């Protein structure tokens, strides 16, 4: 029961983020006279620019969050009070925080590599 609830929450979160990000993928054009138009908040006109802007935004959120989680893992270890289970949990928290921040840092290299393969600037 717990795993199905977790999967449900992950799916709902994914679709909520997708719904919020959908306007990002709309192509910007000149606004015809008599219409109300919304400016492109990313100020990008092509897919590689949008990908760079989105990954930059996610990086600016994920790295500080990863550092906070890393500190939280240290607090878990310091407040374990000799409990081996709590120390292990703190070590796992630190390990996953480091892995997460590492992946976020690697995303820039992966996106740059894909752009180079596709010939994008």
pTM over 0.95: no
By CB atoms closer than 10 A (0-12, 13-18, 19+), residue 33 is exposed
Whether the CB-CB separation of 90 and 77 falls below 8 Å is answered with: yes
**Per-residue pLDDT for the chain (121 aa), expressed as one digit of tens each?**
567 778 777 877 777 776 666 555 555 457 777 777 777 676 777 777 777 778 888 889 998 999 999 999 999 999 998 899 999 999 999 999 999 999 988 887 887 888 788 776 6
Domain ranges of the chain: 2-118
């Amino acid at each position: 029961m717990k795993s199905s609830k977790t999967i449900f929450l992950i799916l709902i979160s994914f679709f909520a983020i997708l719904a919020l990000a959908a306007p990002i993928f709309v192509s910007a054009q000149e606004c015809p006279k008599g219409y109300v138009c919304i400016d492109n908040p990313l100020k990008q006109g092509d897919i590689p620019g949008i990908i760079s802007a989105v990954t930059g935004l996610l990086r600016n959120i994920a790295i500080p969050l990863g550092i906070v989680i890393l500190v939280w893992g240290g607090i878990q270890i310091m407040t374990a009070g000799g409990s081996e289970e709590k120390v292990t949990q703190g070590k796992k928290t630190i390990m996953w925080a480091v892995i997460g921040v590492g992946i976020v840092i690697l995303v820039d290299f992966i996106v740059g590599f894909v752009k180079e393969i596709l010939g994008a600037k």
